[in-house]
Amino acid sequence: MKVGIIGVGLMGHGIAKNVLVRGGYPLAFLDHPGNQPVDDLVDLGATACKTPGDVADVSDVIILCVTGSPQVEAILTGDAGVLPRLRRGTIIVDCSTALPESTLRMAAAVRAAGGSFLDAPMTRTARHAEEGTLNLLVGGDEADFQSVRAVLAAFTESLERVGPVTFGHRLKLLHNYVSIGFMALLSEAAAQAADAGVDPAVFVDVLAKGGGAGVALQRLAPAIVAGDVETVPFFIANALKDINYYRTMAGTSGACGTIADGVAGAMAAVVESGHGQAYIPELARLLRKQQPAA
């Protein structure tokens, strides 16, 4: 089975490496300025392609690992895109974080072109991508899932089909809303504690021994206590995008969005102040009344 990947960024690089090394599959990738350095992939036998259509020409499975719905739609339907050159039976696996309504349209377009579509967003971080221990939430047909299961297993620890097409992206947005929401709330509390002169180590210890314990605290504690923001290498602007995707999904269904609106508002103010490319643990500093030097 020949694998293509479009989007060799922080997450996609680890996916690509593990498809090659752990999976042993031939790999083609889109040569793009947004990629991480790819010399190691080329040394392992990966082939660079100039356009998404070129990737489609040589792939039985195409993994998409890009920012969001506009990028997915452009890759599939744009000039020199995947769909006009899709080989019959090719399976598109969209590991991006995307809007369910867009996912439905793209899945229909892929089927019309003779292929199949799985939405398979991931949880965990770039470190887990490099280690091959991502968690994947897969929406789509069971037979399609089983046909590419071995490819996906090459870069995952947990691999689960969660329902039909869109259910992967729906659950990813729910997951990211909760995860990012926890970190935003914790960051605001940490900022208030710092402004009040509370020892950050004491603040973290009190939460860890009570109801504030959890993954969000574990990930943000190094930033709160020691200013180490590398534990969650995820841009605030991308986190805001995910929260807004969740708000769109919730709004379409008529669900309550009061808390999500508050999280989005706080993060939008940080992005508008010019800090969208800061990692999300930096919120603990950026939400302070008087920000200390970086």
Count the domains in the chain. 2
Q: Domain containing 39: what range?
A: 3-164
CA dihedral 280, 201, 123, 248 (to 10 degrees): -50
The answer to whether residue 119 sits within a structural domain is yes
Of all helices (H) and strands (E), which one includes residue 28?
Answer: strand 27-30
Please say whether the beta carbons of 157 and 134 come within 8 A: yes
Kindly report the CATH number assigned to the domain that includes residue 61: 3.40.50.720
Question: In which band, very low, low, confident or very high, does the pLDDT at 153 lie, cut at 50, 70 and 90?
Answer: very high
172 is catalytic: yes
Give the span between the Cα atoms of 139 and 133, in whole angstroms: 19
Task: Please tell me the predicted confidence (pLDDT) of residue 84.
Answer: 96
Task: Please tell me the predicted confidence (pLDDT) of residue 21.
Answer: 97
Please say whether the beta carbons of 61 and 144 come within 8 A: no
**Domain co-membership, 184 together with 145:** no
**Domain co-membership, 11 together with 142:** yes
Task: Please tell me the predicted confidence (pLDDT) of residue 190.
Answer: 98
Q: Inter-axis angle of helices 167-195 and 100-112, to 10 degrees? A: 150
Q: What's the mean pLDDT in 264-289?
A: 97
Name the percent of the chain lying above pLDDT 70.
Answer: 99
Q: What's the mean pLDDT in 148-159?
A: 98
| Predicted confidence (pLDDT) per residue in 206-245, tens digit | 999 999 999 999 999 999 999 999 999 899 999 999 999 9
Task: Please tell me the predicted confidence (pLDDT) of residue 294.
Answer: 53
SS3 state at 29: strand
The answer to whether residue 292 sits within a structural domain is no
Task: Please tell me the predicted confidence (pLDDT) of residue 292.
Answer: 59
Task: Please tell me the predicted confidence (pLDDT) of residue 195.
Answer: 96
Task: Please tell me the predicted confidence (pLDDT) of residue 277.
Answer: 97
**Domain co-membership, 204 together with 87:** no
Q: Considering the chain, what is the average pLDDT of its residues? A: 96
Please say whether the beta carbons of 18 and 152 come within 8 A: no
Better-scored residue on pLDDT, 57 or 124: 57
Output DSSP code: residue 289: S
| Predicted confidence (pLDDT) per residue in 81-111, tens digit | 999 999 999 999 999 999 999 999 999 999 9
- Exactly one of 50, 172, 209, 289 is catalytic; which is it? 172
- Whether the pLDDT of residue 293 is over 60: the answer is no
Task: Please tell me the predicted confidence (pLDDT) of residue 290.
Answer: 72
The answer to whether residue 248 sits within a structural domain is yes
**Domain co-membership, 174 together with 158:** no
- Residue that is last in its domain, among 164, 188, 213: 164
